[in-house]
Structure 1
Amino acid sequence: MEDRRKFFRVHDSVYLRYRIIESQYLDQAILDAQTSAEQQRKLLQSMADIDENLVALEASIKVNQPEIAQAIDLLKRKIDSLAGVVRTQLDPALNDKDGRAPLEVSLSAGGLGFSSRESFALGDMLDLTLVLLPEVKTVHGFGEIVDCQPEGQDQVESGYRVGVQFTYLAEADREIIVSHVLNKQSRLLRESKELGKST
């Protein structure tokens, strides 16, 4: 079942940034991505541990000192808001999406397809960053161009349909995509059933 999940695919709208990366720089880029992912994992785990301790303390404080509990809650909201601003500033994909429309893609945990004005050679390697909606979760990985076909007779106007196979994706990012795809499939199925009932 685990292996099959990467083939579940949906048509979706995401923010997408990509750049061609030369093969001689690929190993170092992947190593940098792994280091960044591990640092992020440790930070998230640390924050989760702090939250767990706070929940235990808040339960006691709410009973004995409700005003202090309310102040703590307001401070937590303020910190969450600041964290969101910092994340947007530090994450190029989140910071760069303003003013741009999401891109229509075909997405799975194994890769994605999208339309592009530029042509790619088979085997080109891409450094990819996706922002999934509506969760606004960022996924970073690397992929190989496995298909690039003109979408119409006039290539200048119609562009190309590009197929990318992920060659490196952190396990946490892969799980984010799998969860996103399954949730979207469930939502579409539910909407289809509701539409059927109303007709």
Structure 2
Amino acid sequence: MEERRRYFRLDDEVVMDFQAISQEEFQHWKESQSLEKNELRELEQELGTLLHQMRSVHPSLAQILELYNRKINLLSGHKDDSSGVPMSGTESRVRVNLSACGMSFYTDSDLSGSSHLLFQLQLKPSNAMLNLAGTVVSAERTLQTNNPFLVRVNFDGIQESEQELLIQHLFQLQSKTLKHMRDH
């Protein structure tokens, strides 16, 4: 199966919980995306852009504001599930291969019979929360003994502000990685 790459992908670690959902639940989720949620994400994206610009002029002030933003995100993040679908309750730090349009990850759950997944993602270190749905592209058994299933998902019904937040997160991750490589 040829996988189309619309955005670059990076290996990352996120706090994630997910739940397999039916087509009907997926449609309900898409319809329930609220205006308030979109406004919060747009604010987060705009704030992130301005903080990135400020970092080159006033790095200390930008760092203080980023810390405050992370604290606010952390305090408000766990209350942001408006999907109406109960999650698995097994939220954990997970290594993912992430892009602005999808991701892949290893799990102990056989999701080969699932067509849609609902995710709660917390991006690190910003603590920005995303509630996203995805269409399962593939779910295959691997030779790994721990988390033997590799799942690939395309995000579906993703808002432009959510995609911008992911792009910004990936850009910051790549910048940090390149800086670390230069310094060592």
For normalisation by structure 2, the TM-score amounts to 0.68
SS of the residue 1:29 aligns to: helix
Ranges of 4+ aligned residues in structure 1 off by more than 4 Å: 41-46, 82-86
The answer to whether 1:128 aligns with 2:119 is yes
* 1:183 to partner: Cα distance: 0.9
The answer to whether 1:185 aligns with 2:174 is yes
Q: Which residue of 1 aligns with 2:137?
A: 146
Structure 2: 5+ residue stretches without partners = 44-68, 82-86
Q: Which residue of 1 aligns with 2:65?
A: none
For normalisation by structure 1, the TM-score amounts to 0.64
Larger Rg: 1
Distance in structure 2 (CA, Å) of the matches to 1:41 and 1:28 = 17
Distance in structure 1 (CA, Å) of the matches to 2:11 and 2:105 = 10
Alignment of 1:4-153 (within 5 A): 6-33=6-33, 35=34, 38-42=35-39, 87-88=76-77, 90-91=79-80, 101-121=92-112, 124-152=115-143
Structure having the larger proportion of residues in helix: 1
* 1:138 to partner: Cα distance: 0.7
Aligned-residue RMSD, C-alpha: 3.2
> After superposition, what is the alpha-carbon deviation per residue over 1:61-95, rounded to whole angstroms, capped at 9, x for unaligned?
xxxxxxxxxxxxxxxxxxx9x96686245235xxx
Q: Percent identity?
A: 20
Question: Aligned AA for 1:39?
Answer: E
Structure 1: 5+ residue stretches without partners = 47-79
